[in-house]
Amino acid sequence: MNELSARRAKRKKDWTLNPRAFQRLLTWLDEGANSDGQKYLEMRRRLAAYFDRKNCPTPDELADETFNRVARRLEEEGGAIEGDAPARYCYIVARFVFMEHLREMQKDDTLLNDLRQQPHADALVASEADDEQKIKEQRLNCLEQCLNRLESVSREIIARYYVGKARVKIEHRRVMAEELGITMNALSIRACRIRDKLEACVRECAGAGRNTLP
């Protein structure tokens, strides 16, 4: 019996996500619609954010591990999982992944230290002041490039939506929503999407820049 369990565990561990299983996962997440992978990307973002809020050092890897397990289960069940909606099932699996991750962390004291809360100041002190300045400048250049790549309407929205302080900012947003003829909520969703896009662009640009540094 123990041998059987061990074999099953090994099979699970050795399982890798193949194109067919991935396609099945996408279809299952879409729930009958065809989102061209958008549902998958959004769920991956949410899972990574969940692991990140739990202070896991590798949130993207854990999100992928969650999807691997879901895909494997889908393969076992013939493409459908009864009982839970896809988002809820993904969350349940993510919780297990997180618990396992915590246990692994506890085994390794050095990794556990990484998980502990660190003041931002420490991180700043750790880096060289010159390098920090260079990185800042590079980030600003990237931001300018990425802003120029945005559609003019998106640029207008993000430029106005996130500028100003406290009440002034809220007033800007109210005026903007009125000008665009949309609700504050719809405006907030649009602004968040544009900011996500811009952040990803800057991250990619700055990452590429750092990789090319001597």
Partner 1 sequence: MSKQLDDAQTLTQYLLGSLSAAESERLDELSVTDDRVAEALKSVENDLIDAYVQDELDEAACAQFKTYYLASATRRERVAFAQAFQAQAEKRLTAQATKAQVKTPTEARMEAATEVEPGRKGRGIFSAWRGFNVSRPAWQWGAACAALALLIVSGWLIFDNARLRQQRAQTEARRDAQRQQTQERQKELTSQSAGSAQLADERADEHADERTRAERERLAQEQAERDQQRIVEQQRAAVQKSSSSNAGASRIASFILAPQMRGASQIQTISILTRTDHVVMRLRLEPNEFTTYRVTLLDETGSQILWRSSPLKARAVADGKTLSLNLRAGLLKPQIVYVLRVTNDAGEIIDDYPFRVVK
Positions 20 through 59 that interact with partner 1 (CB under 8 A) = 31, 33-36, 38-39, 41-43, 46-50, 52-55, 57, 59
Cα dihedral across residues 158, 164, 168, 169: positive or negative: positive
Give the one residue of 25, 94, 97, 105 binding partner 1; rule: CB under 8 A: 94
Q: From residue 109 to residue 148, what is the string marking binding to partner 1 with x (rule CB under 8 A)?
A: -------xxxxxx-x------------x--xx--xx--xx
Output the CA–CA distances (angstroms, integers) from residue 182 to 173, 176, 197, in the order listed: 11, 9, 21
Give the one residue of 2, 5, 110, 185 binding partner 1; rule: CB under 8 A: 185
In the complex, the smallest distance separating the C-beta of residue 134 from partner 1, rounded to whole angstroms, is 13
The Cα 76–Cα 82 span in angstroms is 12
- Residues 95-114 close enough to bind partner 1 by CB under 8 A: 95
Minimal CA–CA distance to 79: which of 42, 37, 32? 32
Regarding 17 and contact with partner 1 (CB under 8 A), the answer is no
Output the CA–CA distances (angstroms, integers) from residue 11 to 4, 7, 78, in the order listed: 11, 6, 18
